[in-house]
Structure 1
Amino acid sequence: MPPADAALVTIRDYRESDADGWVTCRVLSFVQTQYYDDVKPSRTRLPDGAIELVAVADGGRIVGILDIEVDGAEATIDSVAVRPGWQHAGVATRLLSHALVVLEGRGVRTLDAWTREDAAANRWYQRNGFAETTRYLHVYLGDGDDPSDFTTPDGLSSPVTVFVHGRIEDEADLRARYRRVYVCRRYARDLTVR
């Protein structure tokens, strides 16, 4: 296991040759969180102008990723993940610091992100100048949940798995009915404030 020291990584732009390392980093990071079902077998292709960064340790192993979609004066973190063994060592913060320089140079005024209830992720956003602005629910119908409230077109079975958004006001009722209910928070950071 490498020493977890963010000073030992190089931050650079993502390259196509990083694809496997990017996926491995994201999968290993996400599988330990409430986003475990959002692991992907391949990297999402981002629109032109996106910021795509990786943190690379000695030997070329990708230990952190940060993808940000940019739309004029606003930007959204699409993925931020740090490989286990390197978490809580400042890798994500170094990636963010690098991205902020680029965003500010492009005149981006607001950077936002969405996350669930993972305490470490919420603390990281708060520690890095983000403030919660919005919240709603991610609700999953899954194994053991009653699908009777859901309908499907004729010829199809009742749902096996469903992912829907819910109102925060309905949290208690939804938590009583479904096993997987998460508060999803939008965090935003005003890049015009120093």
Structure 2
Amino acid sequence: MEIKAYHPKYEKGWLQCRVLAFLSTAYYDNVLQEKENYKHPSIELVAIHQSKVVGLIDVEYETEKNQVCTGERGLGGMIWHLAVHPDYQRLQIGQHLLHRVENLAIEKGLTYLEAWTRDDNWVVDWYKKNDFRPVYAYLHVFMEGKSEMQHVKSEIKALRPVQTWAHYNGENEESIRQTFERVHTCTGLEKRLDDAKRL
């Protein structure tokens, strides 16, 4: 396996790796047809095995505080995508990608990395094992069907929503979970790179 900088020639493999990796997670329906481009500078890496993309990581980072991330202490990098092909999981590919990103981020003067994930405990645990700490959480709420969509109104005449999803950061979490069938906790995690630098 070799870790390389992303190149557009890897786009098809990048998309396939991401969708297959996400199928077994709470992001199973978050499918992309094109790889994202970022407004700010980014670190984009792929893990290649026998000409196949088997892992990937994308981090968009700041040159000024709060351009991309939500933290308040220095410049951050947001992990938008981190995935390992199912046939290559548990081989520490994700860890290798993360460590390479951390080294590059430190070189660029970043002080922390930020990541957000839904309520797959194994994903949250993976981040914790890699020294990320949870800093915030809110709900992703998916709505469809007549009983759930009665809570959503359109201000445009003749436009009737039939499916939607929303963020909820209020105090009545239990009520939201009782009202809607598909609700995920979205957890924000942070890793201080100045701490990692001292290790």
> TM-score, normalized by length of structure 2?
0.88
RMSD over aligned CA atoms reads 1.3
- Could you tell me how far 1:180 is from its partner in structure 2? 0.8
Instruction: Structure 1 unaligned segments of length 5 or more: list them.
Output: 1-8
Q: Which runs of 4+ in 1 moved over 3 A?
A: none
Q: How many residues align?
A: 185
For the Cα contact (< 8 Å) 1:147–1:158, is it kept in 2? no
Q: Who is 2:60 aligned against? A: 69
Q: Who is 2:70 aligned against? A: none
Kindly indicate whether residue 33 of structure 2 is the aligned counterpart of residue 41 of structure 1: yes
Where do 1:117-128 residues align within 5 Å? Answer: 117-128=119-130
SS where residue 20 of structure 2 aligns?
helix
Q: What percentage of residue pairs aligned between the two structures are identical?
A: 30
Which amino acid is the alignment partner of residue 32 of structure 2? K
> TM-score, normalized by length of structure 1?
0.91
* Structure 1 stretch displaced more, 40-49 or 71-80: 40-49
For the Cα contact (< 8 Å) 2:40–2:62, is it kept in 1? no
- Could you tell me how far 1:53 is from its partner in structure 2? 0.2
Q: Who is 1:82 aligned against? A: 84
Q: Who is 2:95 aligned against? A: 93
- Could you tell me how far 1:168 is from its partner in structure 2? 5.5
Which amino acid is the alignment partner of residue 62 of structure 2? D
Aligned equivalents of 2:112, 2:134: Cα separation in 1 = 13
Where do 1:105-184 residues align within 5 Å? Answer: 105-143=107-145, 145-167=147-169, 169-184=171-186
Q: Who is 2:47 aligned against? A: 55
The structure-2 alpha-carbon separation of the partners of 1:81 and 1:61, relative to structure 1 and needing over 3 Å to count, comes to same
- Could you tell me how far 1:176 is from its partner in structure 2? 0.6
Which amino acid is the alignment partner of residue 17 of structure 1? K
Which amino acid is the alignment partner of residue 64 of structure 1? G
- Could you tell me how far 1:171 is from its partner in structure 2? 1.6
- Could you tell me how far 1:38 is from its partner in structure 2? 1.3
Which amino acid is the alignment partner of residue 91 of structure 1? I
Aligned equivalents of 1:188, 1:70: Cα separation in 2 = 14
Where do 1:3-14 residues align within 5 Å? Answer: 9-14=1-6
Aligned equivalents of 1:63, 1:144: Cα separation in 2 = 41
Which amino acid is the alignment partner of residue 34 of structure 2? S
Aligned equivalents of 2:166, 2:6: Cα separation in 1 = 32
Instruction: Structure 2 unaligned segments of length 5 or more: list them.
Output: 64-74
